[in-house]
Each structure stands twice: as structure tokens, then as C-alpha cells.
Structure 1
Amino acid sequence: MSTSSSTILTESGTNELEIIEFHLEKQMPDGSKKTCYYGINVAKVREVIQVPETSDYPNAQPHMIGVFSSRDILTPLVDLAGWLGVPTSKEIDKKFVIVTDFNRMTNGFLIDSISRIHRISWNDVESPSQFLEAGEQDCVVAVVRKDQNLIMILDFEKIIADINPELSMEKYDVTADKSVDLNQKMITKRNAKTIMVVDDSAFIRNLILETLSSAGYNTIACKDGGEAHDKLTELAEIAKKEDVPVSELVDAVVSDVEMPRMDGMHLVKRLRDSDVYKEMPIVMFSSLMSDDNREKALALGANDTLTKPEIGRMVALMDQFILK
């Protein structure tokens, strides 16, 4: 099974996505098995293959089985069940590997079986409950109900950051970045501005919030496009009631693309269709920001785009749009 993001990606702004459903077979204490249902956005998947021959890698991170060559790219193979704490069979000859390609990285994830592709509306993708969304350590960003099963959409950025900490955005510290102007005059200017940050991953959302606030910006956090749209509608009503421009309450939006309830592309479309938010700076920050997706985001009205490893460009870009 192989995929092509250029042909499978749904039309921008339609608030739809396609997910690949896959399974892990949990071994229960009584010897029985329980199927665990998971999902990943098709746009993140390069291909699904049988388990390849791997080579051991010295001092590998926990749950890294080894490395293999995927289209001439050295690719780590991750024991997904091991990372999730799901006990499964150790026999891997009948298992499969999902090869992902996002955040400018290629990774392989060991799974027990592949099911099928579902085309769904983001309206049907639910945010985890408050109990499940435990914070930065949570690895489930959304839930889809299909055929009386709950399909857990995993936070693969969080998993990769945990396994490859050297590649994680957590290592970025804006206060140590000499390319960012942190003199008191500039910090005071940023203190007068507010940026809304929209991302369904608590892990990523908190990294963005910390980066912007450390540079002096005020922030508003939203966990999905639906919450962001509701909050922006509320702010527009407050601005109208108080007879002030909405920029007195919020100056810009930084948004992920794939999110429950309403995706980032559809959020941009809705905001640009409104009189209040036609001109507000919007930057898309996503692991799926291919050249094609960048063109789609800009066509819908985004001012610019960033790929998720590029958090180091965030403050300078917001300065450019907000502090002209």
C-alpha cells in the first residue's frame, strides 16, 4: 500500500481529511487478544510495507528497533506498541511498517495490521476528553468513531520528539537566539500585542506559547479550529460592543492545519470570508507544509507558512506582520 499526498489530500478549505486506520493487537493477561484502533493522516504517510531487514544502531533510543533504508533514506524503525505501552506479540514477521514523511523527517512505525482509508469531516473528529488530554505528555490528539470503534489519532510529532530528543523543537530557546531582538524596547512593543495559538497537540501548543511569551507577546491558546473560531467570533462581538477595532483584543493567529472539529485551512477560509478578520495576519504552522500545501494556504489567505521544525523563525515572522 502506498500513498501520494498530492493525489489524496482533500481539497483545501473543505474541512475534510483522510486517515489510515491501523491496529495493534494487545495481548491480555488471560492469553486473549484485544484489537486497539489507531489512525494517522494519509498526508503524513509515504507508504505501508512489510517489515524490512534492519540494522542495529549504537546507543539507540528506547523502542527503536533499528534502522533500514527507505528509498535511499536511512530510516529509524520505531516499536510503536512499545512506546505506547501496549503489550503485543514479539514475532514481527507478520507485522507491517507505516513509513511516515513529515517535519522533514522519515520514520517507520511497527504495527500489527493495516485496515483501510476513511474520508471524514473534521466535524466528526472529536477532541479528547479533559481526562485524556492530560497535557504535554498526552499522545492522543483526536478520536474518530467508526463502525462502533474508537480510532485514536496519535500525536506522531510528540512520539518522534520523545524518541529523537535532539531533533525536538523543545531544544529551541528564544532567549538564547541572537537573531531575535530582545532589547527592552522591542519587548515592550510585543507586550502590547496578542497572538492566538491554535494547535491540537498540547505538546506543540505549549512550545509555541512559551516561545512567543518569552519574546514578550501575550497569547491566547485554543486546542482546535472550532474553539478558535468560536473565540474569535466572541472577540469580534466584544470589539463591536465596545466600539474598538478587533486588533485591540487579538493581533494575529498562528494555526496548525490538521485539527479536530475544524482544520486550519477551513479556519483561514472562514476568517477571510468575514469582514472583521479579512486583514488580520495568519501564519500556518504545520508538519504537513509541503510546497503544495503552502500554495493552498496562501491561496486561501494565509500570510505565510512555517514547517513545524522551524519554530526558530516564529518570533521574527510575527514581528514582521504585527510590528510593521
Structure 2
Amino acid sequence: MSNILESVNKRTQLVGQNRLELLLFKLNGRQRFGINVFKVKEVLQCPPLTSLPRLNSNVRGIAHVRGMTISVIDLSAATGGRPIENIENCFIIISEYNRSVQGFLVSSVERIINMNWEAIMPPPQGAGRGSYLTAVTEIENELVEILDVEKILDEISPVNTNISKELDDKLTIDRDLHHHIMVIDDSSVARKQIIRALSSLDLQIDTAKDGKEALDKLRLMAAELEDVSTEIPLIISDIEMPEMDGYTLTAEIRDDPKLRNIKVVLHTSLSGVFNQAMVEKVGANDFIAKFNPDELAAAVNKHLSL
């Protein structure tokens, strides 16, 4: 376990190379699951949990870890499986998503593996836990499932997707133009959250589930247009996505004369100083941590009002 914790702290060098590292774990049974190491703050033997009234049924309790009080979510129960038993012999993966820290209760933690995003594929129809999968990959001839954590968290504690009236009154975007933008995210829940947050801006919104699908759509448009930004002036893209991540997508856009004028806002649950460096390296116009509807709407307003 100490080796895993040491590895968790040394992974920023892979960002921007269309690579990631997955922490492998199991819930109930033999099925392996993975979580991106960049989301992981710590892995611990499950500490004593305190039950509180009116907790969501998938929250096993509250843990006190290094001065923080965090909710511990049973990942098996949250994805429709049976609750994990004998939790004193289990582990919690402490992670940060969408500006909040939570613990995920898992039965066991295995190791970290280095992967290329091209080897991370969208889930097949009808696979495993169905709507709770955001991607799959194959390791040692076994299917590894990558869960849609944003969907799980939204079911337990839905995020606010409404922009404030104070901000709405200050927006300068010309809503009569019905600007055409593209939203790219492998989580269907995240795509819907963005669309709801921007609904009052009267935009035309196309979507794509990963960087490769988005780039294919943009290049198809480029076959008809000299400058695709005249049709789609702005894209909002997640960073972590199967097949092609957001950094690689941005670099591809900047390398294509017909696409390079498109504004790119990277919108991600990843956090850290290294993100800002990568924003500049690949040529993105903005970086926003998920999920704050006012910050998202303000960024869209800024880039479409120029």
C-alpha cells in the first residue's frame, strides 16, 4: 500500500501526452475497476465510520481524515450492487471531484498501471453496470470498468446548475445570435449539467463524448469551411476522455489551419497547478474547474463577446 501512495504523488509528468495512470481496485467479486490517479489524494485502510441521520443510503458514514470530515460512499451500492461487507478490512480511496473531497469505499486496491488514452474505449452497449460506466479498457485479457463518478456523485448530491441572477444581469453576450458551440465530455451527466447551466444564453449546442469524436466532427466541417470558427467559435471540453484527452484535442485544433481560431475552454474535475501550465502549453484559451455555473457562463460570455 505504501508503494501505491508513493506512486500517487509522482504522476504529473504524464499530463498532455494523451496518457493516464489508473489505480485498479475491486468492489464485490472479481471485476476490476479503475480511477485516474490524478483524482486520487490518498488510499487508506478504512477508518472507523460515524453514521449520521438522513445520510444518503449509499453513504456508509463520515470519516475524520487528517483534520477533514469526509463522506464515505459505498461504490458497489452506489452503482446498483450489494453493499460491501466487513468494511474494517476494506479501503477508502480519497479523491477530489468537482471541488469536493470524498472517500470511495472499495474491497481491495491492487496497483497503478500506465495507459494510453487511445486504449480507453467507450463502454459497449449493455455492458456491466450500464449507465454507470464512462469507459472500459482491457488489462491482462480482462475488462476493466471505469465508473462515471460524476453520475454517482450527482445522484447522491446534485450540483446546482443555475447561474445567479446577479451574473445573468451582467452578461453581454448577444443572445439573438444563438451562438453555436460544442460541449465535449465523456460523462453524459456532465454534458447535461453544462447544457442546463448555459440554457439561458440561447446557444446552439452540439455535443461529443470524447476528443476523437469531436475532432472528427470538426474536420468534417473543415471540408466545407475555410475557418470552422465562423460556424463554431467556441468549444468546452473535458480533459479526461477515452481515445483522446482534452489536451491532445486542443493541440490538434491549434495545429490545423482551419480549426486553430476556435476558442477552447477546458472544463474539468482535475485540479492542480500543472493544469495551468498545460493550458498554456497546448494553447487553450481558458481553464475552469468543475462545477460552478457562474464561472462557466462568465467564460462563455467572455469568449463569445470578443
Distance 1:180 1:6 in 2: 40
Q: Could you say which residue in structure 2 is the equivalent of 1:221? A: 207
Distance 1:108 1:184 in 2: 40
CA contact (8 A) 2:62 2:72 kept: yes
CA contact (8 A) 2:8 2:42 kept: no
Compute the TM-score of the two structures, normalised by the length of structure 2.
0.92
Q: Could you say which residue in structure 2 is the equivalent of 1:129? A: 124
Match of 2:182 among 191, 196, 201: 196
CA contact (8 A) 2:171 2:301 kept: no
Q: Could you say which residue in structure 1 is the equivalent of 2:27? A: 24
Q: Could you say which residue in structure 1 is the equivalent of 2:174? A: 186
Cα deviation, 1:226-260, whole Å, max 9, x if unaligned, reads 101111111111114xxxx3223211110000000
Cα deviation, 1:14-49, whole Å, max 9, x if unaligned, reads 1100001101223xxxxxxxx121110000011111
Uncovered stretches (5+) of structure 2, i.e. residues with no partner: none
> Once the 2 structures are TM-superposed, how far is the Cα of residue 186 of structure 1 from its aligned partner?
2.8
> Once the 2 structures are TM-superposed, how far is the Cα of residue 87 of structure 1 from its aligned partner?
2.4
1:304 corresponds to 2:286: yes
CA contact (8 A) 2:63 2:72 kept: yes
2:259 aligned partner, one-letter code: Y
> Once the 2 structures are TM-superposed, how far is the Cα of residue 5 of structure 1 from its aligned partner?
6.0
CA contact (8 A) 2:40 2:94 kept: yes
1:1-324 mapped onto 2 (5 Å cutoff): 1=1, 2=5, 7-26=10-29, 35-87=30-82, 90-131=85-126, 138-165=131-158, 168=159, 171-174=160-163, 177-181=165-169, 186-189=174-177, 191=178, 193-240=179-226, 245-324=227-306
Cα pair distance change 1:3/1:44, threshold 3 Å:
farther
Number of residue pairs matched? 303
Cα deviation, 1:301-320, whole Å, max 9, x if unaligned, reads 11111111223222221121
Distance 2:9 2:184 in 1: 25
> Once the 2 structures are TM-superposed, how far is the Cα of residue 83 of structure 1 from its aligned partner?
1.2
Uncovered stretches (5+) of structure 1, i.e. residues with no partner: 27-34
1:187 aligned partner, one-letter code: R
Tell me the percent identity.
31
Cα deviation, 1:42-64, whole Å, max 9, x if unaligned, reads 00011111110121222211111
Compute the TM-score of the two structures, normalised by the length of structure 1.
0.87
Distance 2:185 2:200 in 1: 19
